[in-house]
Structure 1
Amino acid sequence: MTAIDPRAVRQLDEARRLYEAGQLDQAAAIFAAVAADEQAADRDQAAAGLAVVAERMAEILLEEGEPGEAADLLLEALGVPGVAESARLRVLLGIAHLELACAEFAGAVEAGPDTDTAALAIELLARTLPLRGRDGDAETVWRYGLDHEDGALAAQVRQRLDRP
């Protein structure tokens, strides 16, 4: 039978209190420290707590338009033993990467690259946006490409749009 460490119980109680008070960074730090302690009897419980806190923090960062910070936070949390199995955190990491991809595709279009690259970036952006529930934005991107003043670019975008 594993002995209960009253210090770890107090730490987890404090982490829960901090989470409920909205002090997510501090709660995450405590949960992470206990989860990383190989001697802690409550390691699994701390990992579960860290997963909950990391999920909330990542959601906030994504809502605030900070997908890079969300991805960094999620990767750090997923590196903690016991948290790596969290499917929800992996989905959020994928969402953060989709948001980052959209930003990169948009940046590539704005940079005014060669016609082939611009058409590819327009297609990738327009096809990725609906994955984030942004169908209207995708339509705007397609329209931008189709109506582009560079006829060669517009033609390539039209070909890409017509592909299955």
Structure 2
Amino acid sequence: MSTTPDEATADPSLLCEQARRLAESGEPTEAARLFGRVLELGEGPHRARAALGLAVVLDDVGDVAGAREADWTAIGTQDPEYGPRAAYHLALLHERAGERDEAGRAWRIVVDFGNPGYLPPALLALAQLADDDGDFEAARDWWEQVIGTGHPQYAPVAAHDLGQRLLERGEPARAQRVLAGALRLIDRESSPYAYARLATCIGIAYLDQAIGAFDAVLDDEEAATDPDVGPLATELLARTLPLRGRAEEAREVWARGLARPGVAGQVRARLRREFAEPAGRGEEAGTSWWEPLVESAVADGSLPALTGEAFGALDHMYAVAALRLAQGPADAGDAYEALGQAAEVPGGYPWGGLLHESFTDRARRALGPDAPNVPDVPDPSGR
């Protein structure tokens, strides 16, 4: 590497500054030459800065091996500022190459330097590596160290990740404490997304704590059969579980409540609290053929599917009838055929047979038990 007379006598700090300006102006090769010149001068207070600068510009021009060697040179100086920065840069190089173990060693070097400016992201990176490996205990230790730094950018991220894992492990109370502490580190005005992210996790933690509390009540048979406690706990637990994607468990909660002597009636009343009263049925209110279907759908968490079926059948039936109407006057045969097509539609649904039976019952009550030629609804299933 050639050296000009001016460079031979130049102050290393001036050479580093000149190299920095060259790198920023898009001349990495010339910048690398000047950083290398400083390193040729041997040990000195500017060696670490030059080595890190050389690592960065060599990385920019694609010389990854040279960049890594320069990073190690900077690390070897044990400089409290440029040493951890070089280790940070080295860790990113290894991560970019998919070299997880080497990246982990570099992150540990950053931690060993103890520079508070680079410590939080290094700790967080080590936590993420441990989490990827499925080592919760190690990851938790690193996350807790990040949180302990109180860093407004990295501590909330660590708290969120740790909180999520604690929730998955069934420790909502611990998750809530971790998340609430981190929430106090965030300025809601300047970091609304980070605040909302943590606040949402806190809400989930409270939700899981509530599920645990209701479940504990129902595990106590005396409490579960107490008319003032059991039905309420049953409803709250059954309606909360689906919010956490646990609809099957909610169905089992309703089933247990409906089978408990002494409180089954109150549980059923809570299950049906939002049911509409059939219009114009008088004393028959509450006995419509579809109500057991709706009740079962609520308990099973399949009410949207049942609603979709009902509206799908209605849409199909309406289309058949409306199309015939739009075509204008028709003879009796055409009208009869259109009515038959509309009446056949529900037969393809699980509840079609019940609708058929309801119609048959209504027709016989209207025409009398001995009425001849009671209209029948074709059943596509053949039953």
Into which bin does the TM-score normalised by the smaller protein fall? Answer: 0.7 to 0.9
Alpha-carbon shift at residue 110 of structure 1 (Å): 2.1
Q: Structure 1 vs Structure 2: percent identity of aligned residues?
A: 36
Structure 1 length normalisation: TM-score?
0.80
Instruction: State the secondary structure of the residue aligned to 1:115.
Output: coil
Q: Work out whether residues 48 and 82 of structure 1, in 8 Å CA contact, stay in contact via their aligned partners in 2.
A: no
Q: Paired residue for 2:116?
A: 11
**2 CA distance for matches of 1:145 and 1:81?**
43
**2 CA distance for matches of 1:14 and 1:24?**
12
**2 CA distance for matches of 1:73 and 1:115?**
37
Q: Paired residue for 1:26?
A: 145
Aligned residues: 141
- Measured against aligned partners, the alpha-carbon deviations of 1:116-150 in whole angstroms (never above 9, x if no partner) come to 210000000000000101000000000010112x1
AA aligned opposite 2:249: D
Q: Work out whether residues 124 and 146 of structure 2, in 8 Å CA contact, stay in contact via their aligned partners in 1.
A: yes
Q: Paired residue for 1:106?
A: 215
Q: Work out whether residues 62 and 96 of structure 1, in 8 Å CA contact, stay in contact via their aligned partners in 2.
A: yes
**1 CA distance for matches of 2:243 and 2:186?**
30
Structure 2 unpaired stretches of 5+: 1-80, 86-114, 128-141, 275-383
**2 CA distance for matches of 1:125 and 1:64?**
19
Q: Paired residue for 1:78?
A: 183
1:3-152 → structure 2 map (5 Å cutoff)? 10-22=115-127, 23-30=142-149, 32=150, 46-82=151-187, 85=192, 86-111=195-220, 112-113=222-223, 114-148=226-260, 150=261, 152=262
Structure 1 unpaired stretches of 5+: 1-5, 33-45
Higher CA-based Rg: 2
AA aligned opposite 2:253: V
**1 CA distance for matches of 2:252 and 2:242?**
12
| CA separation of 1:76 and 1:163: change in aligned 2, threshold 3 A | same
**1 CA distance for matches of 2:247 and 2:117?**
43
Q: Work out whether residues 129 and 137 of structure 1, in 8 Å CA contact, stay in contact via their aligned partners in 2.
A: yes
**2 CA distance for matches of 1:26 and 1:12?**
14
**1 CA distance for matches of 2:228 and 2:244?**
25
Structure 2 length normalisation: TM-score?
0.35
**1 CA distance for matches of 2:153 and 2:273?**
44
AA aligned opposite 1:47: P
Instruction: State the secondary structure of the residue aligned to 2:228.
Output: helix
Alpha-carbon shift at residue 28 of structure 1 (Å): 1.4
Alpha-carbon shift at residue 163 of structure 1 (Å): 1.4
Instruction: State the secondary structure of the residue aligned to 1:116.
Output: coil
Quick check: which one's helix share is greater? 1
**C-alpha RMSD of matched pairs (Å):** 1.8
AA aligned opposite 1:19: L
| CA separation of 1:162 and 1:12: change in aligned 2, threshold 3 A | farther
AA aligned opposite 1:14: L
